[in-house]
Structures are given as C-alpha cells and as structure tokens.
Amino acid sequence: MLDEALFQGELVRLVALDADKVAEHFFKWDHDSEYWRLLAAEPAMSYSKKQIKDLIEKELDGDKGDLFFFMIQSLQDWRIIGQIGLDGVKWTHGDTFVGISIGERELWSKGYGTDAMRVILRYAFTELNLQRVSLTVFEYNPRAIRSYEKAGFVVEGRLRKILLRGGRR
Amino acid sequence: MDLKRPLFDGSLVYLAPIDHEKDAEIESRWTHDAVDMRLLSFEPAKPLSPAQVKKSYEAIEKSVDGDKNLFYFTIRLRSDGRLLGFLRLYDVIWTHGAGTLRLGIGDPADRRHGYGSEALSLGLRYAFEELNLYRLSAWIAEYNTPALRFFEKAGFTVEVCRRQAINRSGRRWDLISMGMLREEWERSLGIGS
C-alpha cells in the first residue's frame, strides 16, 4: 500500500534544506580531513560557505528531474547529521549511483548511515521504480563496506590500485 | 602514513577557507602597509578597500573551482579563529607533479610565533601527501632574508637565481627560487630511508 513514512526510517528521516543551510553543514564537515578522505577521491579541501552554496545552487538549477539529494536528520534530536543522494540516474536502464556520508563523526558506527541507506533504497526501488543501485567505496573504509553489506549491497568488482593515499595504493 | 591524522589542523594554527565577511576588512588593512606587501608579493603594492579584497576572493575561488591547479587556504589561529595569513599552492602541473607555494603572515606582530612554520608544515603535508606532488618551488626576493631563512629551515634548497629580476627602492634585486623534493620532505620527517 501507499507508504506514508516513505522518507523515514527507524533512526533518521530524509529532508531537503535550502542551499545556505546545507552549506553550513558541509562547511563544518569538510574541515575534517578524515571524513573527506573516506568520502571522496578528490584532494581534501575545505571550501568557503559561499563556494559551497554557489555549487549547490548550480546543481539544483541544473536539476532535470534526476537529482535526489537529501540531508539526513536524526529522529532523536532533529539534528542534521549527514547527506545522501541518488545521482546519475539512468532511466532507460533503471540504474543509479548513490552517495552517502555521516558528517557528525561521533555518530559513526551507530547505524544511522545504514538506516538512511535503507530509506533511500526503498525510495529508489518503490517510488522511482529503479532496477538497481550502484556505489563505490574505498578499500580503507571497512566501516562503510560493512554498512552497505548490511543494507544488502554485494561486491561486484574492484578497481585495482586506483587511489594513491597516504603513500600507498 | 595515517589517513586519520587531520590535514588542516596544527597545534597553533589551522588551514581553512576564506570567510568572505570577516577576512576582507582585515586583509584590506594589511594592504595599506607597503613594506609588508613588498615582502608578500612582486605585484605593485596597492592599498585595497574591503570591497576590492572581497572581489579578489571571488576571483580566487573562481580559479580554484575552474582551473584545478590552485589550492588556497587561510591560516587561522587555533584559539580564536582569527585570520593570520594565507597559504597557496599554485601553478600545479599534474603531469609532472610540480607546484609552487606561497605563504604570508599578514600582521608583523603575528610573525616569529611559529605560526608560519606550522602552516608551512601543514601545506607541505597537503602537497606531498594529499595532492601527491613530487616537488614544490617558492619564489623569494633577495631582500626578503627572513623568508629565505624560513624556507631553508623547512628544508628547501636554493635552485635558481633570476638575476636582477626585481626593481624596487631604486635598485635591482635578484629573484630566488627555492625548491623541495618529495624525498627531502620525507627525510625531514624521518619517513622512509
């Protein structure tokens, strides 16, 4: 039946915020270089609030109905704790990429990410009617790999030695 | 090497982005000190209003976003977040793993406290360990002996002397390029062989 709590899980819900609010959170999280290095292959960088806001607005302006980007809000205290989004939806193939991060590091390993992932997977499969969801994760991020496996992802392949971080591949 | 160790945080200072509202006022003040500006840059010293400084920030960020060969940080005091100076890695040539570094502490009262040294060590680590560069250069005017000593202490070597390249205070001065290679940086940290 129609699910009225489509955007809500057991620990978190997914919400949309204005670009300037999103920028406040990204600004704070990006200063944490470990967070960034777990999340992205690009060099860690702490961008100004203005830069982040401009970038988000540009993304939102370019939305052709295939951008599903949300902030993760804790149901416990309504704090914004992370972000999640589907990008690169290929409608003809029913496939999309998903990206997620929990910026508030004291909440790592507490199930928030897994819960948010379950919510967005349900959204992807039952509301967008996609056939598959893909993601990439770094070898040195076992916490994320465990979380994705819990949410039901399986390893499909590995890009050998693709990153050079901390002096090793 | 430890991926957990913060890249942007030292014990005295940290590297952070521009604060468009607060920084412009402070940097405008710096540009009114001609002696200082001549240490920081080879461009003609020129007082800038806060609005002009803000414009320059926008140009910097546009270049950071667009060209992908400029990395710009402000240097801030750990205890209160106050703006101390800037550090930029620029002219990065990715195919050769080479880049150039420039660093400045704006207010003379903030020099000789170890802020610049710590910021430089953060900048070096960022360049060699996060950008995976192989070498860095720094251009210093002959008359800027504190800067020459500063880079030498950090492990840079004089590589090039561009004779009489600068015309200031009624005479000509050499422009000196110092450089550092990855293995020299690693040695200075006691990493590797």
Residue-wise pLDDT tens digits, A13-66: 999 999 999 999 999 999 999 999 999 999 999 899 999 999 999 988 888 888
Give me the interface pTM, i.e. the ipTM. Answer: 0.74
Structure tokens at B34: 């001609």
Q: Which of B1, B126, B131 sits opposite A166 (nearest CB)?
A: B1
Stretch 50-79 of chain A: residues touching chain B, C-beta under 8 Å: 50-51, 55
Confidence band for B193, pLDDT divided at 50, 70 and 90: very low
Tell me: pLDDT of B191 over 80. Answer: no
Name the average pLDDT for chain A: 93
Asked if the Cβ–Cβ distance from B4 to A51 is below 8 Å, we say no
Residues A14, A124 contacting (CB under 8 angstroms) = no
Confidence band for B169, pLDDT divided at 50, 70 and 90: confident
Asked if the Cβ–Cβ distance from A48 to B6 is below 8 Å, we say no
Mutate to test the interface with A, among B1, B4, B5, B8 (most CBs of A within 10 A): B8
Residues 6+ apart with CB under 8 A from A33: A44, B6, B7, B8, B130
Identify all chain B residues contacting A48, using CB atoms and an 8 Å cutoff. 17-20, 61
Tell me: pLDDT of B107 over 70. Answer: yes
Tokens 């060969």 belong to residue: B69
Asked if the Cβ–Cβ distance from A46 to B73 is below 8 Å, we say yes
Tell me: pLDDT of B143 over 60. Answer: yes
DSSP-derived 3-state class of residue B146: helix
Which CATH superfamily does the domain covering A4-150 fall into? Gcn5-related N-acetyltransferase (GNAT) (3.40.630.30)
Mutate to test the interface with A, among B15, B22, B130, B189 (most CBs of A within 10 A): B130
Residues 6+ apart with CB under 8 A from B37: B30, B31, B45, B46
Q: What are phi and psi of A24, to 5 degrees?
A: -55, -45
Residue spans per domain, chain A: 4-150
CA distance A2 to chain B (A): 43
Residue spans per domain, chain B: 13-189
| Mean pLDDT confidence for A72-99 | 94
Its pTM stands at: 0.85
- The top-level CATH class assigned to B13-189 is alpha beta
Rg over CA atoms, chain B: 17
